[in-house]
Amino acid sequence: MKTAFVRAGAFATLFVLFNLPPFLRAQSQPAADLIIRHAKIWTVDKNRPTAQAVAVLGDRIMAVGSNEDVAAWQGGNTRTIDASGKLLLPGFNDSHVHFVDGGLALDRVQLNDATSAEEFARRIAERVRKTPKGGWVTGGDWDETKWTPAAMPSKELIDPLSPDTPVFVSRYDGHMALANSVTLRLAGITAQTPDPPGGVIVHDAHGNPTGALKDAAMDYVFKVAAPLSHDERLRAVKRALAHAASLGVTSVQHMNPEYADIAVYSELLERGELTARIYAAPLIPGVDDQIKIGIRHAFGGPFLRIGSLKAYADGSLGSSTAYFFEPFSNQPNNRGLLSDEMHPVSLMQDRMMKADAAGLQICTHAIGDQGISIILDLYSEVVKAHSESDRRFRIEHAQHMAAKDFDRFAQLHVIASVQPYHAIDDGRWAEERIGHDRASRTYAFRTFLNHDVRLAFGTDWNVAPLNPMLGLYAAVTRATLDGKNPSGWFPEQKLTVAEAVEAYTMGSAYAEFQEKDKGSITPGKLADMVLLSDDIFTIDPVKIRDIRTTTTWVGGKVVWDAPEKSRH
């Protein structure tokens, strides 16, 4: 057997020891800080897919192999963990989160599981009573499709319950929010207020605002809302980090953070309190900020990096603002909206050209088939202008594909940064809005793989739960949340468990230029790992959603250890 010893990162020297007897290996190497043995390890490394044990020195993996192989790394101060046959995986890397929003949502009014308009209103009223004078009620993540009837809420539902308190609660997709009359007055929104480019103020039959604001129209409120304080932002990040650790999420790719968010990450890193690795992608309108200081893609260190930009092509399916070639089936006069960043499209093209010329990575939200197609057109123009390179264009969500564009995805080497949970959520009602044919190319994970398109899995938290087990369950079963598709919604798009795990680890690492440092349990890589309560490769796939994380390591350090009673 061969045992590889690699010193990387903080270690200055690289050694490789082959076929040495144990006594000689013991004389030639330092002892490991940590050994995990008697595990069922799925490495996501094609050179050695499975193993029993792993040795860690500092923050790096030193050896992967059998219990006997790795025993040579045992020393007097080595901490040894017996995994008792449990499944050990690389730490999960969420390729698309809104991390601060997620942390804030953990402490704000929770409306997503409200099953009626009455329950929606009751929870808001309860939060209004607890809100100090001058404070706002925000958060929410409501989903009217769970109500009977599934009708959009209006300000009349909550105005009597909030006569003096501003209320601004988001739909769960983040592309629509409901404001009460207090908030509309503060924002200066009246019946005469024009729709901004890329946004819609919803009006009732009399021409009055209903309180529902779509996409760029929400900016009217954002401009008058009180900004987060540093302490509020810090608390939100800490809450988010703790939640991520409990779920085995060791890396996150934060889409459209504010610079103040990155400052908090930097502060926590300096204090040694950053327990997940962050890749931050601020919005593309700020492209000049990173160009001025010469930052390129994946700039930074193992815990905090920038060099990526997030762009928006369109809205969402749930808010009927995703941009399609043909109208929505249930709204014959509506094809969706291009985002304010796409007015005009030449503005987006100019920003992408500048970003790519500077070596910055571009990650573009595109959901409707024409929105996706336009972004592929723009990416193609960038390649023509600047020639081929390892730029790793991404399309975030890539939900509703035109048949002609799968090949273009592959030809342009675009990464599909996708969220499996959205498929089993939207699958409850998507066909009512876009019909069977378009739905057949929705969340088309198998079709992407068949076209050799790389997948990177994420959640879009706080739009969907951060729990990777729910994402794996969704990708493998495609069983919609309403229970109406137990065999899978468009089951031909299902993935195997191994494919889904790879998309959540190596796929996401590749999407942030980090496949050499993480994404698999391989000697030399960062020791980011998760031990699960059960083996997701052998259980009934339906049970994957119930699997728990028992231990999470980041850089060889335990950041989550489940209480004993919850391990079984």
> Is the model's pLDDT at 6 over the cut of 90?
no
Q: Say how many Å lie between the first and final Cα of the chain, rounded.
A: 34
Sign of CA dihedral 128, 131, 134, 139: negative
Q: Which amino acid is at 369?
A: D
pLDDT value, residue 227: 87
Residue ranges of the alpha helices (H) in 330-489?
Answer: 345-357, 369-386, 405-411, 420-426, 430-439, 445-450, 468-477
pLDDT value, residue 28: 60
Tell me the per-residue pLDDT of 454-476, one tens digit each, with 9 for 90 and over. Answer: 999 999 999 999 999 999 999 99
Domains of the chain (ranges; CATH) run 1-85+521-568 (2.30.40.10), 100-222 (3.10.310.70), 231-513 (3.20.20.140)
Sign of CA dihedral 417, 420, 421, 425: positive
- Rounded mean pLDDT, 505-515: 98
- Rounded mean pLDDT, 62-85: 96
Beta-bridge partner residues of 252: 94, 278
Percent of the chain with pLDDT over 70: 94
pLDDT value, residue 23: 47
Give the pLDDT band of residue 13 (cuts 50, 70, 90).
Answer: very low
How many whole angstroms separate alpha carbon 98 and alpha carbon 469? 19
How many whole angstroms separate alpha carbon 479 and alpha carbon 523? 37
pLDDT value, residue 301: 97
Q: What is the DSSP string of 307-325?
A: -EEEEE-B--TTTT-S--S
Q: Which residues contact 354 (CB under 8 A, 6 or more apart)?
A: 287, 288, 291
Give the pLDDT band of residue 27 (cuts 50, 70, 90).
Answer: low
> Is the model's pLDDT at 430 over the cut of 50?
yes
ω before 166 within 30° of 0 (cis)? no
pLDDT value, residue 565: 47
Percent of the chain with pLDDT over 90: 90
- Rounded mean pLDDT, 178-201: 96
Q: Which residues contact 125 (CB under 8 A, 6 or more apart)?
A: 158, 161, 162
Beta-bridge partner residues of 418: 457
Tell me the per-residue pLDDT of 394-407, one tens digit each, with 9 for 90 and over. Answer: 999 999 999 999 99
pLDDT value, residue 17: 40
Please state whether the predicted TM-score (pTM) of the whole model is above 0.75.
Answer: yes
> Is the model's pLDDT at 14 over the cut of 90?
no
pLDDT value, residue 98: 97
- Rounded mean pLDDT, 219-244: 95
CA-to-CA separations, 261 to 52, 229, 410, 437, in angstroms, rounded: 39, 11, 34, 41
pLDDT value, residue 535: 98
Q: Mean pLDDT for the chain?
A: 93
> Is the model's pLDDT at 19 over the cut of 50?
no
pLDDT value, residue 29: 72
